[in-house]
Amino acid sequence: MRVPLAALLVLALPLTAAPAAASAVTAPPPVTLGSVIPAPVEVHPGGPDFRLTSGTVIAAPASALDVARRLAEALRPATGYALPIVAHAPGGTPVISLATGPVGARLGTEGYRLGVRRSEISLRANGNAGLFAGVQTLRQLLPAAIDASTPRHQRWTVPGGDIVDYPRFAYRGAMLDEARHFHSPDEIKRYLDEISRFKVNYLHLHLADDQGWRIQIDSWPRLAQVGGAPGTGVDGVGGGYLTKAQYRDLVRYAADRYITIVPEIDMPGHVNAAQVAYPELTCDGVAPPPRTDTDVGYSSLCIGKEITYRFVDDVLRELAAMTPGPYIHIGGDEAQATSPADYLTFERRVLPLVAKYGKTAYGWHDIAAAPAASAAIAQYWGLDTSNATLAAAVRRGTRVVMSPANLAYLDQKYNPETPIGLDWAGYIEVQTAYDWDPGTLLSDVPAKAVLGVEAPLWSETLRKMADIEFLAFPRLAAIAELGWSSSHDWASFRSRLGAYGPRWAEQGVNFYRSTQIDWAR
């Protein structure tokens, strides 16, 4: 067998000069205590690592059993360990102990203290939401292989030290557009799992629009039967709707991950699907043609007809009855087919109906024009850095959730080459999604009026879960850090994001490998 000259040359090299291996497969660098997204408030590395072994137990009081179960189900698949949950760990047993109790008012309901010692990891919080947040951090302190779905035979170490952590903003949301394309309950649950890892605590579901109606309403059955029929998505793809049982199951699934569901029925515009199902909701009583295109601004409820307000009242009553969360979103955007006077009339009559059913009204910032919106939350989706109408409403008590379309809309393309998504608000690469401050974005809205952030994902161009994941990750992680962290450092975030890539790979998440990031392997 001829030995190629090149091979001989390599052999001739002095032994000290090992040939530069083109793709040296190096073990991933050990996880550091600060390598967490969102960035924790305080990180104090030090002391010996904790090693998770087959003898490790999880200790938790009955009151924290749900969180202990979430932790166990997160760690058992990749380790193959039993990780029994016990009330008290036997002496000398390596233990991950969860407990609630007063840990300091500044930690609030979602903060936590995490202490990592040689033979004990202690997680303490004022309540279970804080313990759950701490569990998400702990998952990121184990090697990336911890997210594998089958056992990996390796060392499972957690870096020693202490973390003290709590959120900057109370509202850290994501949104799925169920109307343009219906995402199944299982897809919504997968998204809930994925966003809960970044301490997101609200999921806004856009449940009705011109193309489709996606939630069962008993008093108006044709809404879902007609508006949720097959073929009612954009381009005739993605019909379907959530039954009340499915919606309630999603509310529970979300609550188990300390996420609150926010349902949205967009009104008075974006109502073509409702009017196809019930022509009496139009002013002339004639059913409009069903629409599967992506135009907006052409539909309006009939502001002068009383049936409109019976419709809204019935829908809000049934939605409120199955929504334990505090908010019901009534849309309000792009009402170009509603006259300004009619818009104000509509909001004046409808905003109080939300309060009638014990909920706080929430709408796109367009509702700020209505004086009745003073007790509501306005979701800012504009491109500007000031908004006088919204600022005036804020002075009357309106609070704001920031979703600027040019910074936080996950349906916008990353760049011109992105195969799916829209681009009307501009391209949003990862750094664009990260490099802004929700507290100071609007020069005429003070930070104290800002409840938090939300990353909407509109579904005109989505067809499957892989599309959701491609557009949502990694930018959702950036928005989640803006909502949670008190620090803001692109170089740090960029580095932590690169280290997070292998975790998405282990989870099978179809994330976008932005060229702005050095992705670890």
The answer to the question of residue 86 lying near ligand IFG (CB under 6 A) is no
Distances (CA, A) of 154 to 60, 145, 151, 318: 26, 9, 9, 51
Whole-number minimum distance, CB 137 to ligand IFG, in Å?
A: 32
Dihedral angle computed from the Cα positions of residues 32, 35, 40 and 43, in that order, rounded to the nearest 10 degrees: 20
Q: What's the alpha-carbon Rg for the chain, to the nearest Å?
A: 25
List alpha helices for 185-305, DSSP H: 185-196, 222-227, 244-255, 272-277
Is the CB of residue 155 less than 8 Å from the CB of residue 34? no
C-alpha–C-alpha distance, residues 52 and 153, integer Å = 12
The residues with which 85 forms a beta bridge, in sequence order, are 58
Minimum distance from CB of 360 to ligand IFG (Å)?
A: 19
Q: Does 198 bind ligand IFG (CB under 6 A)?
A: no
CB contact at 8 A, 403 and 454: yes
Which residue of the set 334, 347, 417, 429 is catalytic? 334
Binding-residue pattern over the window 40 to 79 for ligand IFG, x denoting contact by CB under 6 A = ----------------------------------------
Query: Do residues 439 and 486 make contact, with C-beta atoms less than 8 angstroms apart?
Result: no
Q: Which CB atom, from 144 or from 390, has the smaller least distance to ligand IFG? A: 390
- Minimal distance in Å, beta carbon 120 to ligand IFG? 48
What DSSP designation does 249 have?
Answer: H
- Minimum distance of ligand IFG from residue 162's CB (angstroms): 42
Distances (CA, A) of 108 to 18, 100, 320, 438, 483: 55, 12, 27, 20, 15
- Contact, 78 vs 150, CB < 8 A? yes
What is the closest distance, in whole angstroms, from the C-beta atom of residue 336 to ligand IFG in the complex? 11
Binding to ligand IFG by residue 337, rule CB under 6 A? no
CA 517 to CA 521: how far, in whole Å? 12
By CB under 6 A, tell whether 420 contacts ligand IFG. no
409 interacts with ligand IFG by CB under 6 A? yes
Q: Which of residues 437-456 bind ligand IFG (CB under 6 A)?
A: none
Given the complex with ligand IFG, which of 202 and 409 has the nearer CB atom?
A: 409
Return the number of the residue (116 or 471) whose C-beta is nearest ligand IFG.
Answer: 471
Could you say which of 145, 296, 337, 447 contacts ligand IFG (CB under 6 A)? Answer: 296
The region, left, alpha or beta by phi > 0 then psi within -120 to 50, assigned to residue 49 is beta
In whole angstroms, the minimum distance from the beta carbon of 104 to ligand IFG comes to 39
At residue 161, the 3 state secondary structure works out as: strand
Nearer to ligand IFG, 170 or 422 (CB): 422
Under rule CB under 6 A, which residues in 263-282 are in contact with ligand IFG? none
**334 annotated active-site:** yes
* Choice between 38 and 269, CB closer to ligand IFG: 269
Token output for 333: 């955007």
Residues with Cβ within 8 Å of 31's Cβ and at least 6 positions away in sequence, in order, are: 140, 141, 142, 143, 158, 159, 499
Minimal distance, residue 271 CB to ligand IFG, in Å = 12
**DSSP line for 443-457:** TTS-GGGEEEEEEEE
Closest approach of ligand IFG to the CB of residue 364, in Å: 5
Query: Could you give the string, one character per residue 128-157, with x where binding to ligand IFG holds by CB under 6 A and - elsewhere?
Result: ------------------------------
458 contacts ligand IFG (rule: CB under 6 A):
yes
Among 178, 318, 333, 347, binds ligand IFG (CB under 6 A): 333
Residue 262 Cβ, how far from ligand IFG at the closest point, in Å? 14
Which is closer to ligand IFG, CB of 197 or CB of 270? 270
Q: Is position 422 an interface residue for ligand IFG (rule: CB under 6 A)? A: yes
Does 380 engage in binding with ligand IFG (CB under 6 A)?
no
Choice between 198 and 364, CB closer to ligand IFG: 364
Q: Which residue in the set 166, 220, 362, 364 belongs to the binding site for ligand IFG (CB under 6 A)?
A: 364
Is residue 411 within the footprint of ligand IFG (CB under 6 A)?
yes
270 vs 496, beta carbon nearer ligand IFG: 270
Cβ contact 259:325 at 8 Å: no
Residue 144 or 350: the one with the smaller Cβ distance to ligand IFG is: 350
Q: What distance in Å separates the CA atoms of residue 378 and residue 361, rounded to the nearest whole number?
A: 9
Q: Is 381 in the site for ligand IFG (CB under 6 A)?
A: yes
CB within 8 A of 369, min separation 6: which ones? 340, 343, 344, 347, 389, 393
- Contact string 201-240 vs ligand IFG (x = CB under 6 A): ----------------------------------------
Is the CB of 175 or the CB of 229 nearer to ligand IFG? 175
Least separation in angstroms between CB 224 and ligand IFG:
20
Which H, E and C letters describe 31-61, residue by residue?
A: CCCCCCCCCCCEEEECCCCEEECCCCEEECC
334 binds ligand IFG (CB under 6 A): yes
In order, the DSSP letters of 196-225 are: HTTT--EEEEE-B-SS-B-B--TTSTHHHH
d(CA 160, CA 146): 18
Residue numbers at the binding site for ligand IFG (CB under 6 A): 296, 333-334, 364, 381, 409, 411, 422, 458
Give the catalytic positions in this structure. 334
